[in-house]
Structure 1
Amino acid sequence: MRSIRGLLAVIALIASSLLLSPASAHAAPGDLTCTEDESVSYSPGLLNTRRPVDVTVHNVLSCTSLADPAVTRGQVQATIRGLDRSCTDLAASGSGSYTITWNTGETSTIGYSRSANYVLGTLVIVENGTVTAGKFAGDSVLHVVELPNLDLLACLAEPGLTSISGIGSYVFT
C-alpha cells in the first residue's frame, strides 16, 4: 500500500504540473486540497457483460483551503440510474460532471475528463477538470483516486461486483 501511495503522489505532482498553464494563472496556487474516502455501489452488481445498473457514489472529503479557510469538508452524493455498465468499464476513459457540496452550504460543479489504469493490481483514476459553476469557479481540478483490492472474480457470476472503495485526493488551483 505504501508503494501505491508513493506512486499516487508522483502521479498527482506530474498531473498538477500539467494543469499549470497561462489559462489557469488567475487561480491562486493551492486554492483547495482535500483527501477523500470514496465508495461506489452497484445494483445489481457488475458482471463481465454489460447491463443496466444503478450506480451510487458517496465521497467524503477533508479539506484545507487557502482561498477560504471556512471550507474544511465536502461530499459528493449521487445515484445514477440505469447506466449500461460492466466490470470491463472500470478502466474506461470518459468525461462528465458532478457537484461537491461543501460544509459551508456552497457547491462546486466540476466538469472533467477521466483516464484509468491498473497499477500493481489497483485501479487508479485520474480526473482533470474545471470548476464550471459555484464555489472556486474557474479553478482547475486534479482528482486522483486509488481503488485497491478489487474483487474482479466477483464479475464472473451473480451477485457480481456490488461495491468498490478507496482513497483519493483533490487539488484545486
Structure 2
Amino acid sequence: MRTQSATVQVDVQGQLGVCVSTDPGASTGTYTEQATVPLACTQLLNQGTGSRVFAWQDGTTSTFAFTRVVNTVNGQLVNTFTGSITHGKFAGHSATQVVTAFADLTACQTLAGLTATQGTGVLTII
C-alpha cells in the first residue's frame, strides 16, 4: 500500500487467548476478516464498516458486525471496532474490540509499500 489509492485485498487473522468468560467454551479462539477496499497509506485513519467471525475453541462461532474508527496515539494506529454479535454464540450482545497496530509507515514510501501490520488488542462482549 502506497500513498495513492488502489484496490487492496485485506486479510485479517487474529488470536483470542486467555479470555475471561462465563462460557467455558469461549476461553480461546481465532478470528478472520477479508475485504477488498480502496486503500492508501494516506487513508489509514478512515472509518468503515465490516464484519469478522470469531471461532471459539468449542467449535462455535460468533459474527461481529462493526463500525471501525482509527486514531493515532504515540505513532501507533488504534483501531476501535464497535457493534454487535449478529449470529452464533453471544448473538444479540454488544461488542467492542480495540486493537493497537504497529506499522512501519516509512514503508509507504517504498515500491512494495506497506504490506502488513500487527498488534495486540482487547475484545469485550457485554
2-side partners of 1:132 and 1:54: how far apart? Answer: 24
Query: Larger helix proportion, structure 1 or 2?
Result: 1
Structure 1 residue aligned with 2:20, among 64, 68, 76?
A: 64
Q: Return the offset for 1:161.
A: 0.5
TM-score normalized by the length of structure 1: 0.68
Tell me which stretches of 4 or more aligned residues in structure 1 moved more than 4 Å.
none
Alignment check: 8 A CA contact 2:32 2:52 kept: no
Gaps of 5+ in 2: none
Paired letter, 1:88: T
Q: Mark the CA change 1:167 to 1:101 in structure 2 (over 3 Å): closer, same or farther.
A: same
The structure with higher relative contact order (CA 8 Å, sep 6+) is 1
Gaps of 5+ in 1: 1-45
Paired letter, 1:64: V
1-side partners of 2:34 and 2:111: how far apart? Answer: 21
Q: Which has more radius of gyration?
A: 1
Q: Return the offset for 1:96.
A: 1.5
Two-structure CA RMSD over aligned residues (Å)? 1.3
Three-state SS of the structure 2 residue aligned to 1:70 is helix
2-side partners of 1:52 and 1:88: how far apart? Answer: 14
Number of positions where the alignment pairs a residue of Structure 1 with one of Structure 2: 125
1-side partners of 2:2 and 2:56: how far apart? Answer: 34
How much identity, in percent, do the aligned residues show? 36
Q: Return the offset for 1:93.
A: 0.9
